[in-house]
Structure 1
Amino acid sequence: MKIRTFIATASLVASGSLVAFTGSAQAALYTTCVGDGGAVTVTNDLVVPAGKSCTLTGTKVKGTVTIEAGADLVAAGATFNSTVTVGENAYLDLTNTTVKGALTTASAFGTHLENANVKAVDATGGFVYAVDSTLGGNVSTKAGELYVSGSTLSAALTGDQNQYSDVYDSTVKGALTVKGNTLGGVFCASEVYGAATYTANSDALQLGGEGLLGSCAGASYFGGDLAVTDNTATAVLDNAIVRGGLTATGNDPVLVVGELARVRGAVTGETGSAAPSFSRSAKEAAPEDRAASLAEKAAARASAARADAHEAGKSSL
C-alpha cells in the first residue's frame, strides 16, 4: 500500500505545497496516496499528486482530501470527515463512500457518485453523475453535465449553463433551477418540493411524461410553483402534478402541456396542447438516455485509474 506520510517544514508552506498546520507546531503534516490503499485511518490531510492515481478501500481520512490536476481517486467503502477538492482534469469516483464536508470541483474531468453520502456539491466544469446517492446540502453545477438518478437531495439543485441537467427517479427537497443549458434537461418520475425554474434553455425540455428525450413511465410532482420561461427549447410538461402555479412566458416555441399534466394553481403565459400522436412520435425519435454516455466515460476513466494505481502499488515508490 503506497500511502506515505510527510512532515512539511515552513519552507514547503511558502512554496505552495498543500499542507495542514498541526496547531502549535511550526510544521505541517500531510499524506500522499499513489497506488492502492486499504482499511487504514489517515489522521491528517490526504493528497493525490498531479497526474497520479490512488484507490482506497475502507479507508478513513480525518483531514481534507485533494485530487490535484490530472489525478484520479477511486474509493469504495471510504469515509472522508472533511472536504474533498477535485482539480483540473482530475477524476473522483466514490462508491458506498461518505463525505462529511463539501465536495468542490474546478474544471475536473468528472465526478461519479454511486450509493454515496455527500454533504454538498459545488462543481464547475466536467460532469456530475450521481446514482442512488444521498446529497445533504446544496448541489450546484455549472458549465458541465449533470445527471442525477435514484437519489435524494436535501437542499437545492442548480444546473447553470450546463450541456444538460437531467433528474430521474429522485427527490429534491429544496428548489430546482435549470438555466441556460444548451441541450435542455429532463425531469422524470421525480419530486421537487421547492420552487422549480427552467429558464433560457435550448434544444429540449422534458418535464415528466413521454417526450423528446425519451420514455418516462412514472409521474412527476412539483410541490411549489413551476416557471418555464424564456426558453428556445422545445418544452413539454406531461404526466405531472404542479401543486403551485405555472408561469410559461417568453418561450419560443410555447410550452406544450400534455393531457396528463395537472396544474393546481394559476397558469400565467402561453401554453399549447399536444397532438394525439405527439408522445408516440417523440419517443420513437428520442436519443438514448444520456446516462449511458456518462457511465461509459466514468467506467473508462475509473478502469484506467485502477490499472495505474495497481502498477504504482507494485513499485518501490
Structure 2
Amino acid sequence: MKIRTFIATASLVASGTLVAFSGSAQAALYTTCVGDGGAVTVSNDLVVPAGKSCTLTGTKVKGTVTVEAGADLVAAGATFNGAVNVEENAYLDLTGTTVKGALTTESAFGTHLEKSTVKAVDATAGFVYAVDSTLGGNVRTEAGELYVSGSTLSGSLTGEGNQYSDVYDSTVKGALTVDGNVLGGVFCAGEVYGAATWAGNADTLQIGGEGALGSCAGASYFGGDLSFTDNTAAAVLDNAIVRGGLTATGNDPVLVVGELTRIRGAVTGETAVAGASSARSAGRAAPQDRGAGLAEKAAERTAAARADAHEAGKSL
C-alpha cells in the first residue's frame, strides 16, 4: 500500500497505507484508509474507499470522515474532530471514540456505537445500535432499526417509520417521538424530560412493565406530557411516573395502563385497566431482546471488516 499526495498537478509518492489526494490547489487535501491504522494524526479529511475496510486505533482525524458505499470503518479510541458520513450499505463501528461533528448515514448497513461520544445522529435506513454512549445533540432515525441502551442523549430522540424503536435504561433530555414504526417499540427503565409521543405505530408498544416483548423491572420517568395517538399496536404503559398529562386518542386497541403507573396531570382519551391486556397477550410468544439480534449482526460485519483490513496491511 502507498501514500500518494496530489496538489494541483504535482505528486509525491511514499511508502505506507494512508493515501492523500487533492484535485486542485484550492481543494481540501484528503487521506484514504485501506487496512489497519494506528495512533497517528490525520490533519485533513479521511475517506474509506468504496468496498474497502479500514480499522483505526487511537487515530485522530481533524477533518471530515467519509465511509463510501459498501465500505467498513471500525475505530477504537479514536477522535474525529469533524463530521462522519456513512454511505449506502457501508458500516461504521465505534468503540471508545469521540465524534465532535454530526454523524449522518444514508441507506447504510448500520452503525454500532459503544462507549462513544457523538454530537448528533441523522440516519436513514440501516440500523443504529448505541450502547453506553453519550449523544450530545438530536438523534433521528428513519426507515431502519433503532436500539439505544445505557446511553444519555442531550437532545431529542426520533424514530420515524422504523421497523422498531427500542430504548433501555437511557436518559433523553429532550423530546422522544416514535412515529409509524412497523413493529412498535419498547421503553424500559429510562427517563424523558421533554414530551414523549408514540403515534401511528403497529404491532406492540411496551412502555415499562410486563408485556409481549418481555419484562421490564425498572421504573420509567416522564418529565413532560405523554401521548399515544392513532396506534394499531397493542400498547401497555406500566411502572412509570408521568409528571405531565396523558393523551390516549384514536388507538385501536386502546392503551392499557398498569397499576404501577402514576400520572400527575390530566388524562384525555380512552384507556383500559391492566387486567384487560391479558386476553390480548395470550398466545403471543415473547421474543428475545431485539438488541441481541443487532449485536450479532454488528459483530459479524465487524469481524469481516477487521479480517479484510488486516489482509490489506498495516499503516505507519
Instruction: Verify: 1:52 aligned to 2:52, yes or no.
Output: yes
1:79 is matched by which residue type in structure 2?
T
Structure 1 residue ranges (4+ consecutive) displaced by more than 2 angstroms after TM superposition? 2-10, 18-22, 25-28, 276-279, 281-285
1:6 is matched by which residue type in structure 2?
T
Do 1:73 and 1:305's aligned partners in 2 also have CA atoms closer than 8 Å?
Answer: yes
Partner residue of 1:14? none
1:169 is matched by which residue type in structure 2?
D
Corresponding pairs, count: 306
Instruction: Verify: 1:159 aligned to 2:165, yes or no.
Output: no
Please give the secondary structure, in 1, of the residue aligned with 2:31.
strand
Partner residue of 2:201? 201
**Are residues 130 and 180 of structure 1, via their aligned partners in 2, closer, same or farther at CA, if it must alter by over 3 Å?**
same
Please give the secondary structure, in 2, of the residue aligned with 1:182.
coil
Partner residue of 2:80? 80
Distance 2:114 2:39 in 1: 20
Distance 1:202 1:277 in 2: 16
Partner residue of 1:232? 232
Q: Offset of 1:241 from its aligned partner?
A: 0.6
Structure with the higher fraction of residues in strand conformation? 2
Instruction: Verify: 1:253 aligned to 2:253, yes or no.
Output: yes
Please give the secondary structure, in 2, of the residue aligned with 1:275.
helix
Distance 1:250 1:3 in 2: 62
Distance 1:242 1:66 in 2: 42
Percent identity of equivalent pairs? 80
Distance 1:3 1:59 in 2: 18
Distance 1:143 1:73 in 2: 22
* TM-score of the pair, normalised by structure 1: 0.92
**Are residues 29 and 107 of structure 1, via their aligned partners in 2, closer, same or farther at CA, if it must alter by over 3 Å?**
same
Q: Offset of 1:20 from its aligned partner?
A: 7.0
2:170 is matched by which residue type in structure 1?
S
Residues 93-108 of structure 1 aligned to structure 2 (within 5 Å): 93-108=93-108
Q: Structure 2 stretches of 5 or more lacking a match?
A: 10-19
Distance 2:166 2:283 in 1: 17
Q: Offset of 1:248 from its aligned partner?
A: 0.1
* TM-score of the pair, normalised by structure 2: 0.92
Q: Offset of 1:274 from its aligned partner?
A: 1.4
Distance 2:23 2:226 in 1: 48
Do 1:210 and 1:283's aligned partners in 2 also have CA atoms closer than 8 Å?
Answer: no
Partner residue of 1:309? 309
Partner residue of 2:8? 9
**Are residues 5 and 246 of structure 1, via their aligned partners in 2, closer, same or farther at CA, if it must alter by over 3 Å?**
farther
Please give the root-mean-square deviation of Cα atoms over the aligned residues, in Å: 2.3
Partner residue of 2:272? 272
Instruction: Verify: 1:118 aligned to 2:118, yes or no.
Output: yes
Do 1:50 and 1:71's aligned partners in 2 also have CA atoms closer than 8 Å?
Answer: yes
Q: Offset of 1:28 from its aligned partner?
A: 3.6
Distance 1:166 1:302 in 2: 22
Distance 1:225 1:100 in 2: 31
Which stretch of structure 1 is more off in the superposition, 268-277 or 196-205?
268-277
Partner residue of 1:13? none
Distance 2:128 2:137 in 1: 15
Distance 2:235 2:172 in 1: 21
Please give the secondary structure, in 1, of the residue aligned with 2:313.
helix
Do 2:68 and 2:90's aligned partners in 1 also have CA atoms closer than 8 Å?
Answer: yes
Partner residue of 1:138? 138
